[in-house]
Amino acid sequence: MNDQPTKYSREFAIQMDEEDELHAYRAEFYVKEGSIYFDGNSLGLLSKRAEKSMLLLLDSWKKYGIDGWIEGEYPWFYLSESLGGKMASLVGAAPEEVIVTGSTTSNLHQLISTFYEPKGMRTKILADNITFPSDIYALKSQIRLKCYDPDEHLVTVNSRDGHLLSEADIIESMTDDILVIVLSSILYRSGQILDMKLLTEEAHKRGIIIGFDLCHSIGSIPHQLSKWEVDFAFWCTYKHLNGGPGSVGALYVNKRHFGKEPGLAGWFSSRKDKQFDMEHDLTQANHAGAYQMGTPHVLSVAPLIGSLEIFDEIGIESIREKSLELTGYMLELINHELIEYEFVVRNPEEDSKRGGHIYLEHPEAARICKALKAKHIVPDFRTPNGIRLAPVALYNTFEEVWKTIQTLKTIMDEEEYKEFDNKRGVVA
C-alpha cells in the first residue's frame, strides 16, 4: 500500500517544505503573519541582515560624520566598488566589471550614451515591442539626443504572440544598419529567458554591440556575462536581490571596453586617487566605476550589504534550483486545478526558458488580483489582463503555492472576484 501523499495535496506541499534545504532562510525575512507574498519580482521582502546593515551605515554617519567616507567597517568612498565585487558572481563577471550605482534607467542612459555612436550606415538601435516601457523611453531619448528620429532609428522585433520572443526573429533583425542591441534577459510579463549566449555570439558576428536589462533575472537565475562576452548590462536591486524600495541599481561593462570614455561623465567617474585633485580634465577609473556619475546614495545602498551576504552564502545555483521547483509545482497545480476557469499560462514551460515567476492571463485579472489581496495573498497585476505570481526561493514555501492555487479555485468557484472593479489600482 502506497502511503505517499498525492502531489496535489497539502500534505505533499508540506513534505516538500520539510525536504527543502533552503527552508530555514525564510526566518531571515520579515514575512507578514497570515499573508502570502508573491510579489518579490516587483519588490523583495526585507531581510533581517539588510535591516542590520542599513542601521550599521546609519550608525557610521552618526559616529563618524564626514569621516565615514574613509572610516568604519564599510567606508562609503569605496562602497560602490566593494558591493559591485560582491555582486559579480551573480552575473558571472569579474569584480572590476560591476559597479553599484544609479538606477535601471539612469544606467541605461549612461550605457547607451557611451556605446551608441552612430556613423556611416550603422545608426540604429534594436529592441523589442514587448519590453518594459522605461527602456524604450530611454532609447528614444538617446536617439533624439543624437539628432535622429526614433521612428526610423529604433527598430523593434515583434513578438509573434504578444508574450514570447523568437531568438531567430531577433537574429534576422540584426541587419547592417544596427549599431546597438538592448534586450531583457527575462521578459517582465511572460518570464521567458532569452538565450543571451546565442544572441551575443550572433550580434558580434555582425559587429553589433549588445547589452541586456537584467532586472528580472539578477538574483533569480545564473549568468555568465563575461564568458558570453556580453558588452554591457544593467539592473535594479529591489526585486529578487531584496535591496529595498528605490535601492541603488548596478551595471556591468565587459573589461575589453575599459578605457572607453563614459558618455555621461561625472564626479565619481574619476580614478579614486585623482578624484580630489579637482582637475577639470577627467582621469576616468580603469574599471566599471568609470560609468558612475554622482555621489553614491549610501543609505539606499546600505541594505544590499546584508542582502548580498545571503546570496553569497547560498549560491545562485541552489536558489535557481528551488525557484524552478516552486514554479514547476505551481504550474502543475494550475494545470490540474484551474484548467476550467479560462486562465491561460503565458510562461514557457521548459525549465531552461522559464524565469522566476508565473504569468497568467484572465479577462477578469484585475478583479481576481483584488480578491486575492482581500484574502491576504499578494500578487502583481499587469494591464490589461495579466496576473504575475512570484514564489521566491528565499522566503516562499511549497505550502504557500498550494494555498494560493486553492484560494484561486475558491475565488473562481464562488465568483468572489465579482465584488471588485475590473480596474487596476494606482500602483498595479
Report pLDDT digits (tens) over 364-405: 999 999 999 999 999 999 999 999 999 999 999 999 999 999
339-371 residues labelled b (16+ CB within 10 A) or e (exposed)? eebebebbbbeeeebbbbbbbbbbebbbbbbbb
On whether 123 is known to bind a ligand per the annotation, the reply is no
Q: What is the mean pLDDT of residues 275-288?
A: 96
Predicted confidence at residue 423, as pLDDT, reads 83
On whether 257 is known to bind a ligand per the annotation, the reply is no
On whether 105 is known to bind a ligand per the annotation, the reply is yes
On whether 135 is known to bind a ligand per the annotation, the reply is yes
| Residue 18 identity | E
In the chain, the percentage of residues whose pLDDT exceeds 70 is 99
On whether 188 is known to bind a ligand per the annotation, the reply is no
Q: How far apart are CA 352 and CA 184, in angstroms?
A: 16
Please report which helix (H) or strand (E) contains residue 412, including its range.
helix 398-413
On whether 413 is known to bind a ligand per the annotation, the reply is no
On whether 132 is known to bind a ligand per the annotation, the reply is yes
Task: Read off the pLDDT of residues 64-107 as tens digits, 9 standing for 90 and up.
Answer: 999 999 999 999 999 999 999 999 999 999 999 999 999 999 99
Domains within the chain, CATH numbers bracketed: 10-30+315-419 (3.90.1150.10), 51-313 (3.40.640.10)
On whether 134 is known to bind a ligand per the annotation, the reply is yes
Predicted confidence at residue 149, as pLDDT, reads 98
Predicted confidence at residue 5, as pLDDT, reads 86
pLDDT band at 422 (very low <50, low <70, confident <90, very high): confident
Which has the closest alpha carbon to 53: 80, 25, 74? 74
SS3 at position 310: helix
Predicted confidence at residue 424, as pLDDT, reads 77
Predicted confidence at residue 2, as pLDDT, reads 57
CA angle 38, 41, 45 (to 5 degrees): 65
Residue 236: all three cell numbers together: 535594479
pTM for this model (two decimals): 0.97
SS3 at position 97: helix
On whether 238 is known to bind a ligand per the annotation, the reply is yes
Task: Read off the pLDDT of residues 257-278 as tens digits, 9 standing for 90 and up.
Answer: 999 999 999 999 999 999 999 9
Task: Read off the pLDDT of residues 177-197 as tens digits, 9 standing for 90 and up.
Answer: 999 999 999 999 999 999 999
Is pLDDT at 427 greater than 90 in this prediction? Answer: no
On whether 213 is known to bind a ligand per the annotation, the reply is yes
The cell 557611451 sits on which residue?
114
pLDDT band at 4 (very low <50, low <70, confident <90, very high): confident
On whether 177 is known to bind a ligand per the annotation, the reply is no
Give whole-number Cα distances, 338 to 291, 342, 357, 362, in Å. Answer: 48, 8, 17, 11
Predicted confidence at residue 1, as pLDDT, reads 44
Is pLDDT at 164 greater than 50 in this prediction? Answer: yes
